[in-house]
A and B are shown apart, each in its own frame.
Chain A
Amino acid sequence: MRELDAIAALVVRDLRGFFRSRSQLYSSVFFPLMLLAILGAGVQDGLDPRNIDDYVTFLTPGMIVMTALFSSTFSSATYYQDRDSGILRVLFAAPHSQRVILLGKTLSSVVIGVAQALIVLGVAAAIPAIHFHWQYGVVRSVALTVLGVVLLNLFLSGLGQLLASRIRSMQGFHLVMNLVLFPFLFFSGAFFPLDQLPIWLKILGRINPLSYGVDLIQASLYARDSGGYLGVPVDLAVLTVLAAAVFYLGTSRSVSLER
């Protein structure tokens, strides 16, 4: 019970910090929407309609995944602010295991990421040019999207936490995150369908964790039927295993507080 209260306190603290950081609050929501408008409208006209007939709608699940990705990266970077301000030392001196503290940090990242992704989803759903097909029905499709975003955020926040606790400088952290996550994003099917790519890129797409998040959300929002998708059970299973694995790895070793 005390552990739950401590985790809740950490989530409240991080949420408060997030809402106080106006630039992070606005940019995290406006950037994907801006990209959706510019990239969606701009590329739509140059597309071969045999490939994708409604690119803006196709792009929306990818933007939701990108929002989760950016949000997790930002949230993980707060590790450095907490370390450098010294508050992380105070949190680790509390009567809880390291795992409880890191779970609190991860969950706050998840809450922020899910909220941002849902804002993007809500705004996108209200744009007349975007036509979701809700193949599982609106409620189920939204529920699956939310579940996908939660698992994706758990995985990405866990990964961010894992890297942040082992990379001493924030600059190094951002470098590694960009190096790892941008290729993840590009070959996840977020911007273009994976089935039209060369075989080696298809393989990269299949071993890319983000592909399963994009696949799940595209199947829920964009797809008219399940043909050509990996399938919701596969997506959920892969994301769950990955989220659990990175969280375990991230919390099983003592976190360094040295700068």
Chain B
Amino acid sequence: MSTVTTTPSTRTNADAASAAVDARDLVYAYGERRALDSLSISVPQGTIFGLLGPNGCGKSTLLSMLIGRRKPDSGDIRVLGQPLSAKLRARMGIVFQEPSLDPTMTVRESMQLQGRMFGLPRATTEQRTTQLLDNVALTDRAASMTATLSGGMKRRLELARALLTEPALLLLDEPTLALDLDSRQDLWRHLLEANAAGTTLLLATNDVAEAERYCHTITLLDEGRVVAHGTPADLKRDLRHDAVRVEWKDDAEREAATIESWPGVGGVRIAGRTTHVTVDAASPFLTRLFQDAGSRINGVQIEETTLEDVYFQLVGKTISTSDAAQRSTV
């Protein structure tokens, strides 16, 4: 936990007032299971902040609290320096994990409904709709029913809709889920533009690469608790330097048990016939690997360490392990 830079006990009221989100000691339980277990985070304004963890770690539960859908069993949340309220949501936007468009409405009507629900003057809504649809390359589809849009287009429209009210805080619940690579990059281009214009982005994701690439700071979550917090570089600082992926001809588990005892080896993760090993230095490890087990190896690849390795080192499990039964939505 050496990478945790901010803890509830050290945060001051000034921090809370200046933070986009300041949550302290949040507890929320679904029956017996604690989705949030004394969770505290502080999201600085103007940053891209990642909540990273596997499904069921409490990310979506936290976002649902921020938009007022759930109330914490205990703890305190302030958004943009104020306690949560319906009115405060006028300064927030959200892109949900699952599609959230009315299939009986056109693209333009979806934007207009958002404008009216948020109390924007009609002229402002029209002007910003035109501008945003142009930004997300949907101008020529403005009169189309949303049901006819592709997955990528729908996501771009959902983002444009969320940005219509120029929110100070934009909540993103796995916004690129099920999008192809081009659509992901496209969406992130727009998100980065919004961030550059001053919008704080709070991203809940289990996509390690995405969080590492785009987030300024990241909080790693496990079972509703913060396990580490910092910049991607901070989080990886204490980690072994290199990562080696070894594909075995046969049983990876037996090989992993042997490798774990070698000097200079950190975490060993197993996925099928592959082991992912973090090591102090790749060269001596590879030398020994080929000497001791060369005939049983199918292939070897040296990789950079990722936040997945950090998470595994801290928690002992991977982020990408999904448990559909635990998944909740905002």
Contacts and interface: CB of A to CB of B under 8 A. Distances in A.
A241 B156 CA distance: 46
Contact of B90 (A8, A13, A95, A254): A95
Nearest to A90: B100
Nearest to A100: B86
Nearest to B145: A20
A147 B306 CA distance: 67
A257 to B, nearest CB: 7
Interface stretch (A60-68, A81-89, A136-144, A203-211): A81-89
Interface in B97-155: 98-105, 109, 113-114, 116-119
B89 interface: yes
Contacts of B90: 95
B164 to A, nearest CB: 11
Nearest to A92: B69
B254 interface: no
B117 A96 contact: yes
Nearest to A255: B69
B100 to A, nearest CB: 3
A241 to B, nearest CB: 28
B232 to A, nearest CB: 29
B89 A95 contact: yes
B87 interface: yes
A43 interface: no
A16 B114 CA distance: 16
Contact of A9 (B87, B88, B99, B116): B116
Interface in B54-70: 67-69
A96 B100 contact: no
A94 interface: yes
Contacts of A86: 96, 98-101
Given A96-B86, A97-B86, A257-B69, A85 B99 contact: yes
A13 B108 CA distance: 12
A13 B101 CA distance: 13
B330 interface: yes
B277 to A, nearest CB: 41
Contacts of A231: none
A94 B89 contact: yes
A6 interface: yes
Nearest to A259: B329
A17 interface: yes
Interface of A: 2, 5-6, 8-9, 13, 16-17, 20-21, 82, 85-87, 89-97, 254, 257-258
24 contacts: A5-B116, A5-B119, A6-B117, A6-B119, A9-B116, A16-B105, A16-B109, A20-B104, A82-B102, A85-B99, A86-B98, A87-B101, A89-B100, A89-B330, A91-B117, A92-B67, A93-B68, A93-B89, A93-B94, A94-B89, A95-B87, A95-B90, A95-B117, A257-B69
Q: Which 4 pairs, one residue from A and one from B, show the smallest C-beta to C-beta distance?
A: A86-B100, A9-B116, A94-B117, A95-B90
Interface of B: 67-69, 86-90, 92, 94, 96, 98-105, 109, 113-114, 116-119, 161, 329-330
